[in-house]
């Protein structure tokens, strides 16, 4: 292994996908709680009401992380668990859960990487206009302040938003994720602008108030176009496609990342969306561009430049292409553009995993997937990309949004009838991987 010494090896989860305890200890409802109630929204009528019951199994789950040997754990806080109305009174019991989680992690030598928002927006604030309301940026800043006051003596790694592309597009344009609305393009860009403003204000709050010196970054969708060969022309064309906006939606890198890293929207997007631009007020772009420390990318797959895949190309159970090269070109192109250390904040695959007759979960596909993707990342490091971490999605099988419990992304298998956890073969493989001596460490 030739990863740098300070590399964070971890896994990731999100509150709504694992916690359950939907109304317990004073938790308020989120837009996902509401969205799941509507028949037809989620496969099989599944909901996050119980999920992996992580809220009650925190000790067991941290024990599993320690057993695998991960050094960092990326999790998210449920906004309505901490602030049932989204603003105002703090729910002490809800906050105490995260306090305990962080203590358990630190006792086990695992560094907490806290995502402030991974999609479970407070329903009470949705009723006040949600992200369409410009006040949403201030609501988010206040919520961030509550977390910083309570947790920043122990948390150093902060990620304000998970995948803005996803919850903006799927939740507010395509309508397939909560809150499930189908806005027009102008309103979509207004939502995106408020989301960006929320990110910037959160960064300011963390910098101003954190007790322990903070390290702040993104967890954006890494949209990667792959070259089909190593010719300089192909590479240049793939790079150009990766950092451009060609379609009138928010499925791209730069509409979100340019404002975050440069404090400005990209020119091509400004031209394309000319008729639908949001109301950008004085000072907004400076706030959005408040300096951050790393460029976190969630990368599962890439698309080849030609847009064509050979017949029978390997797919995961999400029908996502297995393209290990995405973990080479994604980090490389983003590092070239933004010049910030790269962290892979999510990468992984869904498989049709079950407990076999011998009581174990054999998932050789996931082991092969991890090996191939990590080799690509290693190649990026060797070619000079400053990479600082890798978080496998996910620690355990969980509620996969519109697919409910039908898609299993975990290193750990969860039997939802009994809540029994079983380490898959891939978890054992990852354990061995993590235990390898790193040649860099001996230098």
Active-site positions? 163, 346
Q: Provide the minimum distance between the beta carbon of 298 and ligand FCB in the complex, in angstroms, as a whole number.
A: 5
Site for ligand FCB in 359-398 (CB under 6 A): 393
> Binding pattern to ligand FCB, positions 148-167, x when CB under 6 A?
--------------xx--x-
- Contact of 402 with 350, CB cutoff 8 Å: no
- Contact of 295 with 322, CB cutoff 8 Å: no
Nearer to ligand FCB, 4 or 180 (CB): 180
Maximal CA-CA distance, the chain: 64
**14 touches ligand FCB (CB under 6 A):** yes
- Contact of 80 with 41, CB cutoff 8 Å: no
Which residue, 169, 193, 196, is CA-closest to 181? 169
Which one among 33, 61, 346, 363 touches ligand FCB, defined by CB under 6 A? 346
Whether the upstream peptide bond of residue 179 has omega within 30° of 0, thus cis, is yes
Both tokens of 60, joined, read 């067991």
What's the CA angle centered on 438, arms 437 and 442, to 5 degrees?
95
**140 touches ligand FCB (CB under 6 A):** no
What's the CA angle centered on 113, arms 251 and 160, to 5 degrees?
45
Q: Rounded to an integer, what is the distance from CA 360 to the centroid of its chain?
A: 29
Q: Provide the minimum distance between the beta carbon of 280 and ligand FCB in the complex, in angstroms, as a whole number.
A: 27
Which one among 400, 404, 411, 430 touches ligand FCB, defined by CB under 6 A? 400
Nearer to ligand FCB, 329 or 401 (CB): 401
Sheet (strand 342-347) strand order: 215-216, 157-161, 111-117, 72-76, 8-12, 387-393, 342-347, 295-298, 220-221
Q: Is 286 exposed, middle or buried (0-12, 13-18, 19+ CB in 10 A)?
A: exposed
Distance separating alpha carbons of residues 160 and 183, to the nearest angstrom: 24
Q: Provide the minimum distance between the beta carbon of 90 and ligand FCB in the complex, in angstroms, as a whole number.
A: 26
Distance separating alpha carbons of residues 350 and 177, to the nearest angstrom: 19
What is the chain's length? 443
**250 touches ligand FCB (CB under 6 A):** no
Which one among 55, 261, 391, 409 touches ligand FCB, defined by CB under 6 A? 409
Size of the site for ligand FCB (CB under 6 A): 11
Distance separating alpha carbons of residues 411 and 273, to the nearest angstrom: 41
Q: Provide the minimum distance between the beta carbon of 222 and ligand FCB in the complex, in angstroms, as a whole number.
A: 10
> Binding pattern to ligand FCB, positions 292-331, x when CB under 6 A?
------x---------------------------------
**414 touches ligand FCB (CB under 6 A):** no
Distance separating alpha carbons of residues 10 and 68, to the nearest angstrom: 10
**97 touches ligand FCB (CB under 6 A):** no
Nearer to ligand FCB, 144 or 162 (CB): 162
Site for ligand FCB in 16-35 (CB under 6 A): 17
Q: Provide the minimum distance between the beta carbon of 48 and ligand FCB in the complex, in angstroms, as a whole number.
A: 12
**11 touches ligand FCB (CB under 6 A):** no
Residues lying near ligand FCB in the complex (CB under 6 A): 14, 17, 162-163, 166, 298, 346, 393, 400-401, 409
């Amino acid at each position: 292994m030739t990863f740098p010494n300070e590399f964070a090896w971890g896994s990731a989860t999100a509150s709504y996908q694992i916690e359950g305890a939907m109304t317990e200890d004073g938790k308020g409802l989120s837009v996902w709680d509401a969205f799941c109630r509507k028949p037809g929204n989620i496969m099989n009528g599944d909901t996050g009401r119980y999920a992996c019951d992580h809220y009650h199994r925190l000790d067991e789950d941290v024990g599993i992380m320690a057993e695998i040997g991960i050094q960092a754990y990326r999790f998210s806080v449920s906004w309505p668990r901490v602030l049932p109305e989204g603003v105002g009174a703090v729910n002490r019991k809800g906050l105490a859960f995260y306090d305990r989680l962080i203590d358990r992690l630190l006792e086990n030598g695992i560094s907490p990487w806290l995502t402030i928002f991974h999609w479970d927006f407070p329903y009470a604030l949705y009723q006040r206009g949600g992200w369409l309301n410009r006040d949403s940026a201030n609501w988010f800043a206040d919520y961030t302040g509550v977390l910083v006051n309570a947790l920043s003596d122990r948390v150093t790694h902060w990620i304000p938003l998970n995948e803005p592309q996803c919850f903006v597009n799927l939740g507010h344009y395509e309508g397939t994720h909560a809150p499930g609305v189908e806005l027009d393009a102008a309103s979509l860009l207004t939502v995106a602008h408020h989301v960006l403003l929320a990110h910037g204000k959160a960064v300011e709050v963390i910098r101003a108030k954190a007790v322990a010196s903070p390290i702040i970054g993104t967890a954006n969708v890494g949209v990667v176009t792959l070259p089909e060969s190593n010719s300089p022309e192909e590479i240049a064309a793939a790079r150009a496609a990766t950092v451009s906006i060609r379609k009138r939606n928010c499925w791209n890198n730069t509409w979100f990342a340019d404002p975050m890293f440069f404090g400005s929207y990209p020119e091509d997007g400004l031209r394309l969306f000319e008729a639908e631009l949001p109301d950008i007020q004085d000072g907004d772009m400076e706030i959005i561009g408040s300096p951050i420390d790393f460029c976190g990318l969630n990368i599962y797959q890439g698309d080849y430049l030609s847009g064509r895949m050979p017949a029978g190309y390997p797919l995961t159970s999400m029908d996502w292409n297995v393209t290990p090269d995405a973990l080479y070109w994604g980090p490389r192109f983003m590092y070239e553009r933004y010049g910030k250390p790269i962290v892979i904040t999510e990468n992984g695959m869904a498989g049709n995993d079950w407990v076999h007759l011998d009581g174990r979960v054999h998932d050789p596909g996931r082991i092969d997937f991890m090996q191939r993707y990590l080799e690509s990342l290693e190649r990026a490091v060797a070619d000079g990309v400053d990479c600082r971490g890798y978080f496998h999605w996910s620690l355990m099988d969980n509620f996969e949004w519109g697919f409910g419990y039908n898609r299993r992304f975990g290193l750990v298998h969860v039997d939802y009838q009994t809540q029994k956890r079983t380490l898959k073969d891939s978890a054992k493989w990852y354990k061995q991987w993590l235990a390898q001596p790193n040649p860099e460490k001996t230098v």
